[in-house]
Structure 1
Amino acid sequence: MNWHLHFLGVGAAHAVELGSSAVVLERDGEPVLLVDCGPDTLDRYQAAYGSLPRAIFITHTHMDHVGGMERLFTRLWFDERLRGRTRVFAHAGLLPWLQVRVADYPGALAEGGVNFWEAFQLVPCTRGFWLDGLWFDVFATRHHVPGTSFGLALDGSFAYTGDTRPIPEVLGALAGESMLIAHDCGLVGNPSHTGVDDIEREYPETLRRQMMLYHYGSAADGAALAARGYRIATSGERIALASPAVPRAGAG
């Protein structure tokens, strides 16, 4: 069985030419889970797979990560074969923010009579969630207000930080030696995002060797990060992953 992480987009919010940061976990070339759904994510997803996502994990509710949810609602609601079948996994602490950002505007449809989440299957989680026999760990990240952003890890295979400042203590506990770490990193950090100087200051070499950086500000910034010896994700790139570990006893 072959596993890949497909980077649909790798850009920071202003780097529209790089695509909104989002990835798809693939098993034998088929999509298992989409992580985040920015303004252009659905177009990129459909171009790759010819279908709509059946499972999504939301890391946080900035619009470059959830701006495609309204469009996805419309596509699902008006197709009775798909209505209510796409699972949306989100940390329970994120639900109030997600509700306000994408679901609370009066009248999901002009005709009325429809609640936004009826088009989906909303699955709140805290420690993690099950999907297709796999246990995904959910962990808090450092992005603006505590409790408003979360990353995702599949034991033995990968960890995806979403937007974050450095979290070496978290990734040190989660990321085994064979795991890919997809990490938010720009050429210059700020109070909400990691910069390459933060990576070099905060993380031990063992974790840095496992990293693939994304969410950078331009193609030139990506080239500069690569020139410093880092692996850089590019839009449309598929990265081979180690096979996930068998879910540990007590998971879930």
Structure 2
Amino acid sequence: MAWDLRLQGVGNASAVELGSAMATIERHGQPWLTIDCGGEGLTAFLDHYGRAPQALFITHTHLDHVAGFERLFVEAYFNPSLRGRIRLYVPAKLVPLLHQRVGDYPNPLAEGGANFWDAFQVIPVGESFWHQGVRLEVFPVRHHWPDTAFGLRLHGSLVWTGDTRPIPEMLARMADAGELIAHDCALHGNPSHSGIDDLEREYPQVLLERCLLYHYGSAQEGEALEARGYRIGRQGELVALKPTTAMQVDVA
């Protein structure tokens, strides 16, 4: 079974030319699970696939990762085949934050009669969840404030850190099966995000060799990271993943 990762965007909140950080896990060339819903990222998704995402995992609720939801609401609510069927896997501690950010607006339709979440199937998740018979794992990361940002693991294939500072103790447990590690990294770090010096200080070389860096600040920053010998993600890139070794059940 072929698994891939398509990058809708790789930039930080200011690098709109690189697209908001967002990606889609593909299975057999079809979108399977999308990570986050930024504004530029959703545009890239719609342009490439020609339809709305059917399932999303939300890492955190900063607007560069959830700003596409208002547009996705309109896309889903007025389409009978989509209304209430787009699955949103949301870490339970993020549910109230996501509602405050994108759902808690009086009368999402001017004519009334609609609730924002009518358009979606919201599924609060804990340390793991099942999607189409495949078990995925969820873990907290170090971004801005405790318990407000989470990463995702598809065992044996992919670890997506989301926005984070270095998390060596977490990756020792959550990236121990040879996964590709898509990691937040800019040329220079700050209290909410990793810089390359941070990763070099905190991670062994064998782990750095599995990292695909994204959420950098500009094309020039990406080139500088490459010049230091690291692999960077590029907007629109399709990255081959190893077949997952996650627990699976037949849901046919």
Question: TM-score of the superposition, structure 2-length normalised?
Answer: 0.97
Alpha-carbon deviation of 1:46? Answer: 1.4
User: Counterpart of 1:40 in 2: which secondary structure?
Assistant: helix
The question of 1:192 aligning with 2:192 is answered yes
> Unmatched 5+ residue regions in structure 1?
none
Aligned to 2:244: 244
Shift of 1:133: 1.2
Give CA deviations for 1:47-67 in whole Å, capped at 9, x if unaligned: 111111000001000000000
Please tell me whether the aligned partners of residues 136 and 246 of structure 2 are also in contact (alpha carbons under 8 angstroms): no
- Matched residue count: 249
**Superimposed CA distance per residue, residues 23-43 of structure 1 (whole angstroms, 9 cap, x where no aligned partner):** 000011100001000012222
Describe the superposition over 1:143-199 as per-residue Cα deviations: whole angstroms up to 9, x where unpaired: 111000001000000100010000011111111342100000000000000000000
| CA offset digits 1:105-128 (Å, max 9, x no partner) | 111111111111110000000112
Question: Equivalents in 2 of 1:80, 1:28: separation in Å?
Answer: 27
| 1:114 is the counterpart of 2:114 | yes
For the pair 1:219 / 2:216, whether they are aligned, the reply is no
Q: 1:246: how far off? A: 4.0
Tell me the equivalent position of 1:39. Answer: 39
Residue aligning to 1:126: 126
What SS does the corresponding residue of 2:98 show, helix, strand or coil?
helix
CA RMSD of aligned residues (A): 1.1
> In the alignment, does 2:16 pair up with 1:23?
no
What residue is the counterpart of 2:66 in the other structure?
Answer: 66
Matched AA of 2:240: A
Q: Alpha carbons of 1:32 and 1:248: their partners in 2 closer, same or farther (altered >3 Å)?
A: closer
List structure 1 segments (4+ residues) > 3 angstroms apart after TM superposition.
Answer: none
CA contact (8 A) 2:157 2:180 kept: yes
Q: Which position in structure 2 is the counterpart of 1:150?
A: 150
CA deviations 1:48-87 (Å, max 9, x no partner) are: 1111100000100000000000110011000111101100
Q: Counterparts in 2 of 1:64-103, with a 5 A limit?
A: 64-103=64-103
1:7 is matched with 7
Query: Which structure 2 residue ranges, 5 or more long, are not aligned?
Result: none
Q: TM-score when scaled to structure 1?
A: 0.97
